[in-house]
Amino acid sequence: MRFLRCWAVMVQTKLCIVTHTFLPHVGGIEKVVYEQSKRLMKKNYEPSVVTSRIGTPKHYVLDGIQVECYSSLNTGFSLGIPYPIPTFGSFKTFLRAVKSAEIIHAHGHPYLTSLIAGELAKRYGKPFVLTQHNTFIEYNNLFENVEKVNDLAVGKETLKKADKIVAVSSASRDYVLSLGAKPSKITVLHNGVDLERFRPMLGKQVEMRRKLGIPKDAVVFLTVRRLVYKNGIDTLIDTANIAAKKNPKVVFLAVGKGPDMASVQQRVKQLGLENNFRLTGFVSDEDLPLYYNAADFFALPSKSGEGLPLVALEAMACGLPVVATNVGGIGEVLTEKFGKLVPPNEPELFAKAVLELAEGDWTKRRFELRAVMEEKFSWDRNVESLMRIYEELI
């Protein structure tokens, strides 16, 4: 009997995770899948990620995580629309992955790959879990209409097939409810943060500012953004133009790249903001904690589409108060004690909030903010809750 009990404990639950993109491609969903998978491997799960092939081998291993890549058309990526369309030949990859797993977990309701995973899960009697990360993304162009049609044609069908829907925020929950998801299926599970990597680092602020050529006495507002319309980089530039005229010590530090990089650089130059709006370009995930520690505050100027942005949680874990647009789920984790919320697309109000933060003494509250993050937003806590969802379905 003792042998049988030990054998039962050692048997791993095979988990098929389907996502539109995965590391080394950088993004929020990619980070969530990676952080959860690392911890699930320590909890008697055997995760295997099925994702699109973007400059990677058909199969690779990342920190012990098995990754299988399907062939896809990725023409939308250059336009800031990360939506891979699987080719007909990729079906075998999905079929093999689903048949060999005990649980199927897809990320994002609007992707064809999530729908395929859900259909195959139903066909082979496998539990199907769907995590919904974002809310509706406003592109203010033709793509927005395409998104609405895709929600109705693909998204609603994917939601119907899910046995359990994990929403990363109440805002994400409300979004899928608007598409007809059953309330009884939905669980809100906030994202986590790597508290060991993202933490206050004594002495790093002076070192990083010297490296970046930022004055010691500057008041630095960091943002980590993909430079596309929905992320509100235009709002942040206009905010900087207003705030810097009233307080020249305010410096915005923008980490990231994207299809609008050239136009952002041009706009900054036109406004003469080179000293108050710095663009770093791409920064590796390994170096990112250093940039958080170079700053005094974090700025999140999103227009739409946010579920619960990881960059805000990372900043808060480093003790940075946040000024953000009240979009998606950020208001569920950011209280007035640790920052300010303003409406989207309102640079004058954003600048007002920036200037008010810059004038305050936040020393004590930075430590309090770190303590809150340690208590509520660890990835270990997130994964424990996720495993309980899995166990209900097996």
Locate the domains of the chain by residue range. 10-192+378-393, 204-376
Q: Which residues contact 245 (CB under 8 A, 6 or more apart)?
A: none
pLDDT score recorded for residue 9: 52
Q: Evaluate whether 20 touches 111 at the Cβ level (below 8 Å).
A: yes
- For 114, the token pair is 């999530």
pLDDT score recorded for residue 259: 86
Angle between helix 28-40 and 379-393 (nearest 10): 70
How far, in Å, CA of 268 to CA of 260, rounded?
A: 12
What pTM was estimated for this model as a whole? 0.93
Tell me yes or no: is domain 204-376 CATH 3.40.50.720: no
Report residues of the chain scoring pLDDT below 50: 1-8
Q: Do domains 10-192+378-393 and 204-376 have the same CATH topology?
A: yes
Q: Which CATH number does 10-192+378-393 carry?
A: 3.40.50.2000
- For 213, the token pair is 């050529």
The phi, psi pair for 196, rounded to 5°, reads -80, -40
